[in-house]
């Protein structure tokens, strides 16, 4: 399968714990995006990378969120001190230029 992959697919954690998600983009895609989506809403932009450079981060994103793409290939998204409001689907997308292709997402539940 040469599509975008994400791991884990589901994560249940207790409030205050840290979580980390991984995204493996389509290999020749140099752009990688992270989104968050809640029920009944469109994807909410979090951040994006061109190769290893993080070019933009949403102003809505608190300091508890951080993302890396150390070698311009896979990326990780970490949420520190999780809150119940962080419960959502976290989506990763990769892009060769204009169109974005999504992975299956990681569903986070914070108890």
Partner 1 sequence: QKEVEQNSGPLSVPEGAIASLNCTYSDRGSQSFFWYRQYSGKSPELIMFIYSNGDKEDGRFTAQLNKASQYVSLLIRDSQPSDSATYLCAVREDDSNYQLIWGAGTKLIIKP
108 φ/ψ angles, rounded to the nearest 5 degrees: -105, 130
Instruction: Give the DSSP letter of residue 41.
Output: S
Name which of 107, 102, 103, 74 is nearest 89 in CA terms.
107
85 lies in the site for partner 1, by CB under 8 A: no
Instruction: Give the DSSP letter of residue 3.
Output: S
29 lies in the site for partner 1, by CB under 8 A: no
Q: Which of 31, 52, 54, 87 binds partner 1 (CB under 8 A)?
A: 31
Taking the complex as a whole, the smallest distance from the CB of residue 71 to partner 1 amounts, in Å, to 20
Instruction: Map tokens 């207790």 to a residue.
Output: 14
Which one of 16-24, 61-69, 77-85, 89-97 is the stretch in contact with partner 1 (CB under 8 A)?
A: 89-97
> Which parts of this chain interact with partner 1 (CB under 8 A)?
31, 40-45, 48, 50, 56, 89, 91, 95, 98-105
């Amino acid at each position: 399968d040469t599509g975008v992959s994400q791991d884990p697919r589901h994560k249940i954690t207790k409030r205050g714990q840290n979580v980390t998600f991984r995204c493996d983009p389509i290999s020749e895609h140099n752009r990688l995006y992270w989104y968050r989506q809640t029920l009944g809403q469109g994807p909410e932009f979090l951040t994006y990378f061109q190769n290893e450079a993080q070019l933009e981060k949403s102003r809505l994103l608190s300091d508890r969120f951080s993302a890396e793409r150390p070698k311009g290939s896979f990326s990780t998204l970490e949420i520190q001190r999780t809150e119940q409001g962080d419960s959502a689907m976290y989506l990763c997308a990769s892009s060769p230029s204009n169109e974005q292709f999504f992975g299956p997402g990681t569903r986070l539940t914070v108890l």
